[in-house]
Structure 1
Amino acid sequence: MFCLGRLFAIGWRLDRRRLLVGGGLLLLGSVATPLVAVGAGRLVDAVTAGAVGDATTWAVVVAVALTGELMLGHFAHLSYFELAELTEERFNRDLLRLVNGPEELAHSDDPAFADRVDLLRQDVMQLRSTVQFGLQLGALVVQVLLTAVVLGAVSPWLLALPFAAVVPVVLGRRAEAGLQAVREAQSPTTRGIRYLRRLAASPASQKEVRLAGGAGFLLDRQAALLDAYGTAMAAADRRHALLRAAGQLVFGLGYVAAVLWVYELARTGRASAGAVVLTVTLATQLGSQMSSGVELLGSVHRAAAGLRRFVTFDDEVTRAAGPARTGEVPATTGDGLRLEGVTFRYPGADGDTLHEVDLHLPAGTSVALVGENGAGKSTLLKLLTGLYRPTGGRILVEGVDLRDVAPAAWRSRTAALFQDFARVELSLQHSVGIGRLTDVDEPGAVTAAVARAGATATVERVGLDGVLGLGYADGEDLSGGQWQSVGFARTLMRTDPLLLTLDEPAAALDALAEQRLVDAYQATAAEVAATVGGVTIFVTHRMSTVRLADRIVVLDGGRVVEQGAHADLLAAGGRYSALWTLQARAYAD
């Protein structure tokens, strides 16, 4: 009832006309089905008695009822199919809202969260059909009640048959619950299977897979997961089938007993031949009704489990949001950015990624983060941009703790280009323009951002209205460096950020493109520093670029081990000096 009540309430809000029309037609169809049996019984009695007029009347009734039974469901489908589409769209939008609802993104790095979202996507597909199943189940209940009334009129003992038909429903529901539990437990396995399929089929990964000859390896891994999934589900399917078979056996015995009892009534003159036809017809229909009921209840039960997961997820996201933050973002950085004892641990991780980081980044400075892979550079950037919330410590902007500031307000004053930047396959205008939504449709703003990013050649080739990516028939494919230039232009749509961060901005660029990006970065950093005192931070492994920064911060194992100017750090002979010497030797050799 929880599931159906919730879905019908949603359907009522989405399109009450389709809900009422679909439900009403199904209800009429449910009346037509037992009416066929009643009409057939009366027709037999009329023919036996030689009453031609009555026989004709009941023949017409049977014909009309049969037509209604066959056609009303089809017309109902036209209404509730469209309602199901609206419901699916509603839940898909809600899922996107919930996935993007948490103010921080640390949860997205938790495998358990990914499993839940993957399962919820499957639940949404199930919920689409449940509107239809719920309406059909309601009509079926009416149908069973009418069948019971008619059977009771023949003989009160026949009322035991619907009760016998309840047994397969109960056992079927238990069987579905067990099957659903196993399916949920196998969610990580199914996610792994889908990932391997995408990896083997994706154009982005096929080059490396083919060159490495890894197709067979991936297929073997997929086969192993499929075997594990198949073994678990086979055992669950066997138990499911046995429980359902036991229920159907109970009803089958009740059906045989009912038919024999009515024949006995007819033999002794306590029932007519028409009553025998009516009972056999209704008993057969009842078996079909209960079989359908088991299927529908199983589907509704699975949908109810999914809907409860959805509601639980919604509640968790709502609770995690906590009270609204009302702190205001300073107009300028003033004192700059300060990190005081900042610690961070990813959900489910055994240890901290960052350890009590103390750092002062003065207003108007350009900062380079240096360190080996896994040192915590990207994590630190995500903390500074408000994508993660510190596990411990605090981050201050002009003395304001970012914990007290609405994340959206702070992010509106930040701009970032991450190493795994998004390839937004829209028109070039919109792919760049979404970097500042207020100017998303302004060609002048996009053209200026593209020029600042040094990506004018891409505009000349594609045009602002040209579509990017191979996902469209007329889409323009870009090289990795061109995509990164587009991403950089999107970052530069915000002209007054208090914080500008670039994570490996030159990773996909050739030497000339890298120099253009460095020049654009330096010009932007100077502009941001002069206008709002903004801090610019970049992460790179190219030491020739690092030396251009006002301040260099060296991370190792999640801790700040050195910081200062390039010359000072070289003179200190520490970690930075070793990294510089190592890279310089590689070029010298």
Structure 2
Amino acid sequence: MRDVVFCLRRLLTITWRLDRRRFAAGAGLLLLGAIATPLLAIGAGRLVDDVVAGDVASASGWALVVAVALTGDLMLGHFAHLYYFELAEETEQRFNRDLLRLVNAGDHLDRADDPAFADRIDLLRQDVMQMRATVQTGLQLGATAVQVLLTAVVLATVSPWLLVLAAFAVAPVVLGRRAEAGLQEVREAQSSTTRSIRALRRLATSPASQKEIRLNGGTDFLLARQGALLGTYDEAMGRADTRYALLRAAGQIVFGLAYVGAVLGAFWLAREGRASVGQVVLTITLATQLSTQMSAGIEMLGSVHRAAAGLRRFVGLEAELAAEHATPPDGLLPADLSDGLRLEDVTFVYPGTERTVLDHVDLHLPAGSSVALVGENGAGKSTLLKLVAGLYRPTAGRVLVGGTDLATVEPARWRERTAALYQDFARVELTLQHSVGIGRLADVDDESAVAAALRRADVGELADELAPADVLGTGYADGRDLSGGQWQNLGFARTLMRDDPALLILDEPAAALDALAEQRLVDAYQATAAEVATTVGGVTVFVTHRMSTVRLADRIVVLDAGRVVEHGTHAELLAAGGRYAQLWALQFRAYTEG
């Protein structure tokens, strides 16, 4: 019961603050409906007594009471729904906003790469959907509690022993709570399975993946995988549902036997002359209502209890993240960044794994230089980029900016001086103005700043074809569909909205481009790198598998299995005959043979 009280108190406090008018109207109408139900039974009993006694005037009055009570019983709940339905929608939106803040809380991406955290967030998404229903259920539960209380009071006027009927309602509540707890445990244990099922559904239905799936004939394979996961889920939940049903049925049987005893007791009182015919009718009616009310109340208690578990998860994550960021770093960047960037004995292991991605890396990236990271897939290139950008914290070691440990610098300060285009760049489906302008929020509505970024990125004819107000993306009825290369060009322009970066990152910037667009981007990259180096002494770091682009860098760093195996200029590394020379020879041969 403590969980139910916790959930209702918190949810109803939130809804009251969101919209007091709707809350008061919805709760008030529900309360009137709750009063109408036992009033209907009282009126029916008195009406029967007056008819038996031949008191037409009094019977007419009670008939009117019955009519009004019946109308209220049937209609007030509907009118209340018009208010609390909208209130529940507002509450759901509030929790969705809070969930987005939690997912994006913190200054690093460590949690985002943790599978266990992904499972928690997936479960919270389901919990948020429950919050909307629980707001409605909570208000209805309050009205039901009033009905039960009034019903018990009226039954006591017939005979105090009839209050025992209400006491027997404890059995279904206790057993129902135990049933809900067991069901919730299984649901939580299956969270990773449900997340995998949804991932497969997205893969099978996404327009982006449909081409390959159909060409490869992968539909049946995906359906089989999904079917196996569904079988695992259904088997676990089937057993849990059976236990749930048996416990709930046991509680209802206990109450059902008590109900039968109450009705027989009322007839015995009438035979002994201790109760009127109207009171017998009242007892039968109220006992039936009490059964319905308790059944509904138990159902609603179970729903609230389930929601309470989700709400505690929500509150727990809020507290956990708040504790983690209770004392965030608040240091400033040094005024002098002439020492560039340094990695001192940096090791990194992704959360939830034991694989070392970067292993005791020592590296100096001088100010004003352009640096290329080279290595096979999985060598640690992208991870190193995210470390120097401050998106990850080293598991061990330090990242220094101008001689200052990045861990002591307020993250926002360093991000203001960092611009990046990653291989998995975002397709920001907004207007052209905002899709590019969001790269620097201070200038998001500045058309001249966006136009300058588009010129610097040299996006070709795309800038001439689109106006700032044109909407991009297929998510809009009038949206302009773009190719992968065009989206990447806009991503590069978004990166160049920051014209004074101390760090410019390009991770496979030409991956989605054709040869002409790639050359245009390389030219733009060279001009940007030179500008960054000359104007602000910034460092440009890029990753590419095209060795013709790598040779343009001032410095080349070769990674292998998370370690720096060599670094130097293009000429120095070729002369050394090491890993870089091997990679160069392999790619050069691929272009020259045949």
Letter in 1 for 2:452: A
CA contact (8 A) 1:340 1:395 kept: yes
Find the aligned partners of 1:390 and 1:351 in 2 and give their Cα distance. 14
Q: Does 1:554 align with 2:563?
A: no
Partner of 1:275: 279
Please give the per-residue CA displacement for 1:108-161, whole angstroms capped at 9, x wherever unaligned: 111111111111011011011111111111111111111111111101110100
Q: Does 1:224 align with 2:241?
A: no
Q: Secondary structure at the match of 2:476?
A: coil
Partner of 1:508: 512
Question: Within 5 Å, which residues of 2 pair with 1:130-279?
Answer: 130-279=134-283
- The Cα shift of 1:77 comes to 1.1
Question: Within 5 Å, which residues of 2 pair with 1:51-62?
Answer: 51-62=55-66
Find the aligned partners of 2:522 and 2:195 in 1 and give their Cα distance. 41
Please give the per-residue CA displacement for 1:392-426, whole angstroms capped at 9, x wherever unaligned: 11111111111011111111110000000001111
Find the aligned partners of 1:293 and 1:331 in 2 and give their Cα distance. 65
Find the aligned partners of 2:260 and 2:120 in 1 and give their Cα distance. 47
2:548 equivalent among 514, 520, 544: 544
Moved over 4 A (4+): none
Q: Does 1:415 align with 2:433?
A: no
Q: Does 1:316 align with 2:314?
A: no
Q: Does 1:576 align with 2:550?
A: no
Letter in 2 for 1:170: V
- The Cα shift of 1:23 comes to 1.2
Find the aligned partners of 1:53 and 1:526 in 2 and give their Cα distance. 101
- The Cα shift of 1:56 comes to 0.5
Q: Secondary structure at the match of 2:379?
A: coil
Partner of 2:384: 380
Find the aligned partners of 1:391 and 1:483 in 2 and give their Cα distance. 34
Decide which moves more: 369-378 or 319-328: 319-328
Find the aligned partners of 1:152 and 1:456 in 2 and give their Cα distance. 85
Letter in 1 for 2:354: D
Find the aligned partners of 1:322 and 1:285 in 2 and give their Cα distance. 52
Partner of 1:65: 69
Q: Secondary structure at the match of 1:353?
A: strand
Partner of 2:398: 394
Please give the per-residue CA displacement for 1:64-84, whole angstroms capped at 9, x wherever unaligned: 111111111112111111111
Letter in 2 for 1:408: A
Question: Within 5 Å, which residues of 2 pair with 1:278-289?
Answer: 278-289=282-293
Q: Does 1:525 align with 2:529?
A: yes
Letter in 2 for 1:265: L
CA contact (8 A) 1:332 1:498 kept: no
Q: Secondary structure at the match of 1:124?
A: helix
- Number of aligned positions between the proteins: 589
CA contact (8 A) 1:173 1:298 kept: yes
Please give the per-residue CA displacement for 1:460-503, whole angstroms capped at 9, x wherever unaligned: 22222111111111111111111100100000000000000000
| Superposition RMSD in Å | 0.9
Partner of 2:442: 438
CA contact (8 A) 1:332 1:533 kept: no
2:17 equivalent among 13, 31, 35: 13
Q: Secondary structure at the match of 1:65?
A: helix
2:477 equivalent among 470, 473, 496: 473
Find the aligned partners of 1:504 and 1:301 in 2 and give their Cα distance. 49
Letter in 2 for 1:318: A
CA contact (8 A) 1:425 1:471 kept: yes
Partner of 1:2: 6
Q: TM-score, normalised by structure 1?
A: 0.99
Partner of 1:39: 43
Partner of 1:296: 300
Instruction: Give the unaligned 5+ runs of structure 2.
Output: none
- The Cα shift of 1:332 comes to 5.2
Find the aligned partners of 2:390 and 2:133 in 1 and give their Cα distance. 39
Partner of 1:342: 346
Q: Does 1:487 align with 2:517?
A: no
Q: Does 1:96 align with 2:100?
A: yes
Q: Does 1:124 align with 2:124?
A: no
Find the aligned partners of 2:378 and 2:335 in 1 and give their Cα distance. 34
Q: TM-score, normalised by structure 2?
A: 0.98
- The Cα shift of 1:351 comes to 2.6
Q: Secondary structure at the match of 2:461?
A: helix
- The Cα shift of 1:333 comes to 2.2
